[in-house]
Structure 1
């Protein structure tokens, strides 16, 4: 039985919605969906796939400073730790675990940078094996909502991840 862990960071709730759709698309008997604050520093021995998602802030993964800026723009759910800090605390897997990353980004204006690409780079450096290219999902404005069709696209991406070994 395949076991997946989906770790997300969210400030407005959009990235969490997408993480839950990816997890649903995986369709596995065992999928844990957990925020970066609660995520463990070491994955359990039975984890086969790790999916990590977070918002793109200032062209990369969020920082304390960008989360503070989001709070000043009205975000109420400000995590004490984002995916950047969680990845920094994560132990090397010591075995072959596939990883996929995604981010959320405003649809307009189209800005450069990708939290997903930066997260993938750091996870591969720890010893994880890429399962797919980093994905980006659009949101309308900083607070959302998730752009039309993106929840369905996230579920389909989860299905694709489950189909690849």
Structure 2
């Protein structure tokens, strides 16, 4: 199975999750790359693509916005994809921060919607938690990411 893991990372947290996903799918024909490097040729023959971004103001990063703008309508038709993001949990935050996180939400649902508009079939979406704005990734999240990836791959 040919699997791509396409991500962007600002503080290194989303990259850490991307590397955990790669570890989980080791043994397949897997490739890890930044969103800014992806072109349509990279997607040829892919059986599954994981797309991951940090959450900034409830949205995906500018690099993903630019990637989506580069992809023609329908260019992801027939592509199976899973989306993930990294974000702060609502729990344990101050009143204002908690309300901001709840109000703006997470990036992965918005990324999933944008990828679906390009033709991708979204199989799953997940948010992995980091401590504060800059991280680090909370304990147990890389293990949870590996289990998530293994579960998705096992269903294909």
TM-score under structure 2 length normalisation = 0.85
Counterpart Cα distance in 2 of 1:62 and 1:95: 23
Matched length: 145
| 1:106 matched residue in structure 2 | 88
Counterpart Cα distance in 2 of 1:90 and 1:28: 29
| Candidates 89, 111, 115, aligned match of 1:119 | 111
Could you tell me how far 1:93 is from its partner in structure 2?
3.5
Q: CA RMSD in A?
A: 1.6
**Gap runs ≥5 in structure 1:** 64-81
Counterpart Cα distance in 2 of 1:164 and 1:101: 16
- The list of structure 1 runs, each at least 4 consecutive aligned residues, that deviate by more than 2 angstroms after superposition, is 26-29, 41-45, 90-95, 107-110
**Gap runs ≥5 in structure 2:** none
Could you tell me how far 1:31 is from its partner in structure 2?
0.9
Conserved 8 A contact 1:52-1:83:
no
Greater helix share, structure number: 2
Conserved 8 A contact 1:104-1:138:
yes
| 1:37 matched residue in structure 2 | 36
Counterpart Cα distance in 1 of 2:19 and 2:27: 13
